[in-house]
């Protein structure tokens, strides 16, 4: 029993969460640049433009832009076979609606990808990861506007052409389904650069934006394959399976309907059409999604090559008849623990997730995010003893291996989230740490930005060396 040779062990980040240098090299502001710091359970604020005196953690982040050589060397020290990052749209098109790209931005990613290849690291690249140009959000209303398709496709084609010999694995939209929860204006701003207006039908606005994104993604897949037929272009889904709270049949239906809210995003991009359950739902709620005659054909032709997904947690739901749309309400799962941010820790849920996706789509899968946010500090011996992280990964990798070895799942790679501490997307905190490498910076933005391997750094290095065979939680650290 072994993982396939050439299995892509690595890690994943997003440009806006680590690069910093938010206005350097011709970069324009993105939606992330107007987000302030939240706290556990407290969403980030969104300001109207950039306001003097506010704390915008993405502006500096961990300054990867200036330190990427040192950081890539550290990641290479763990033996990374791949590294997932995103291309900041605003480095390439600072406002988003220009016709010509910004050469300095393109050059930065040329250098970054070259640096990865120096160590034999395969770049895995997300085109749109929560960093839509602010100008497109302000002037066009983000993805509520069909014009976004043209802007995105131009951006995608420029990247495909420029990096066609350096990048093989692409993703179009990060966690495109995160916006499904329309109670949170933050999520839709993050995903689609749109803020809901007073009194509007949020559900319809969200699906309209998603429709344009589906069309844009499909065009990118079609155009990408023309530029390089070897490209692997995937969708990217936040996959948090939902369990029924009990064996009651109505709980089962509620869980199924909750899952459909995520599946719909993958169904369209993998199967190439809108599934019947969503068409019925739109009919029932009088949802009117504007489509051009060619859209459905484009969606059909531009299906993805593989499915990338994040896995952090599972949810549990119980039947609630007052919820006319989804029939359920979230319930705490008594069988699993959670971290300080309430994210439930469920390794078996990863095996379950891999099986669900494999059985539904029969496409290659890539785990492009998994991990645990922890509060951490250096101890007296100078080491960050992140045994909780080692435990988390040992258990998740064990279940991932079962999915491959026992269940026959086709898995390309495994990229833990934030191998180096970075800015949290959800809360903007630095102190929600995911890394194998510690970065000296706190939530207020204070610190030296010095990097330091944690205990888990040496642990994950051995995991990669042994292709996932040695998952023992004991590990010696250099003194």
| Residues engaged in binding ligand P53 (CB under 6 A) | 14, 17, 130, 174-175, 178, 238, 310, 312, 369, 373, 417, 424-427, 432
Of 175, 213, 258, 376, catalytic: 175
Smallest gap, in angstroms, from Cβ of residue 85 to ligand P53?
Answer: 11
Annotated catalytic, 175? yes
Minimum CB separation of residue 181 from ligand P53 in Å reads: 10
- Rounded distance between C-alpha atoms, residue 288 and residue 24, angstroms: 42
DSSP one-letter code for 407: T
- Cβ 128 to ligand P53 shortest distance, Å: 11
Residue nearest to ligand P53 according to CB distances in the complex: 426
Burial of residue 321, with CB atoms counted within 10 A of its CB: 0-12 exposed, 13-18 middle, 19 or more buried: exposed
Q: How large is the C-alpha radius of gyration of the chain?
A: 21
Residue 281 Cβ, how far from ligand P53 at the closest point, in Å?
A: 23
**Burial bucket for residue 392 (CB in 10 Å: 0-12, 13-18, 19+):** buried
Q: Are 391 and 473 in contact (CB under 8 A)?
A: yes
Provide the CB-side half-sphere exposure for 64 (13 A, CA). Answer: 28
The nearer residue to ligand P53, 58 or 303, going by C-beta atoms, is 58
Left (φ > 0), alpha (ψ -120 to 50) or beta: where does 175 sit? left
CA angle (181, 186, 187) in 5-degree steps = 45
Helices (H), 362-428: 387-405
Q: Which is nearer to ligand P53, 57 or 101 (CB)?
A: 57
Smallest gap from residue 235 Cβ to ligand P53 (A): 13
Q: Which position among 115, 122, 281, 369 bears the catalytic label?
A: 369
d(CA 364, CA 274): 21
Which residue number, 116 or 415, has a Cβ lying nearer to ligand P53?
415
Which H/E stretch holds residue 367? strand 365-369
Supply the minimum distance, in Å, between the C-beta of residue 14 and ligand P53: 5
446 given a catalytic annotation: no
Cα separation, 116 vs 85, whole angstroms: 11
Active centre residues (catalytic): 175, 369
């Amino acid at each position: 029993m072994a993982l396939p040779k050439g299995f892509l062990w690595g890690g994943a980040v997003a440009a806006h969460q680590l690069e910093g240098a938010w206005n350097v090299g011709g970069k324009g502001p993105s939606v992330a640049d107007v987000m302030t710091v939240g706290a556990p359970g407290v969403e980030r604020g969104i300001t109207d433009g950039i306001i003097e005196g506010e704390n915008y953690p993405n502006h500096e982040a961990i300054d990867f832009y200036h330190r990427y050589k040192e950081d890539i060397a550290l990641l290479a020290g763990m033996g990374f076979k791949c590294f997932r990052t995103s291309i900041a749209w605003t480095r390439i098109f600072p406002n988003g609606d220009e016709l010509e790209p910004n050469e300095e931005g393109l050059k930065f990613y040329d250098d970054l990808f070259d640096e990865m290849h120096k160590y034999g690291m395969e770049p895995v690249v997300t085109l749109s990861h929560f960093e839509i140009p602010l100008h497109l959000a302000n002037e066009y209303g983000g993805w509520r506007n069909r014009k976004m398709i043209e802007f995105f496709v131009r951006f995608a084609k420029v990247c495909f052409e420029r990096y066609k010999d350096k990048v093989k694995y692409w993703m179009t939209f990060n966690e495109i389904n995160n916006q499904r929860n329309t109670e949170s204006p933050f999520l839709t701003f993050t995903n689609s650069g749109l803020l809901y207006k007073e009194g509007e039908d949020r559900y319809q606005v969200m699906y309209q934006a998603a429709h344009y994104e589906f069309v844009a993604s499909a065009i990118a897949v079609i155009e990408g394959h023309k530029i390089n037929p070897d490209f692997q272009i995937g969708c990217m889904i936040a996959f948090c399976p939902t369990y029924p709270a009990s064996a009651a049949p109505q709980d089962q239906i509620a869980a199924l309907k909750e899952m459909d809210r995520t599946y719909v995003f993958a169904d369209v991009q993998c199967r190439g059409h809108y599934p019947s359950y969503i068409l019925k739902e739109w009919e029932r709620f009088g949802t009117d999604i504007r489509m051009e005659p060619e859209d459905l054909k484009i969606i059909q032709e531009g299906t993805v090559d593989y499915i990338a997904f994040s896995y952090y947690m599972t949810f549990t739901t119980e039947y609630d008849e007052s919820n006319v749309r989804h029939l359920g309400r979230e319930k705490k799962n008594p069988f699993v623990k959670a971290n300080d941010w309430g994210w439930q820790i469920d390794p078996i849920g990863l095996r379950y997730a891999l099986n669900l996706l494999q059985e539904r789509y029969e496409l290659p899968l890539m785990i492009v995010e998994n991990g645990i946010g922890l509060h951490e500090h250096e101890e007296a011996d100078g080491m960050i003893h992140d045994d909780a992280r080692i435990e988390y990964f040992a258990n998740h990798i064990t279940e991932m291996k079962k999915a491959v070895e026992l269940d026959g799942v086709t898995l390309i790679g495994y990229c833990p989230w934030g191998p180096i501490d970075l800015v949290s997307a959800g809360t903007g905190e630095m102190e929600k740490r995911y890394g194998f490498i510690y970065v000296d910076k706190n939530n207020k933005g204070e610190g030296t930005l010095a990097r330091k391997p944690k205990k888990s750094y040496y642990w994950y290095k051995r995991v990669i060396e042994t292709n996932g065979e040695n998952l023992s939680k004991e590990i010696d650290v250099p003194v």
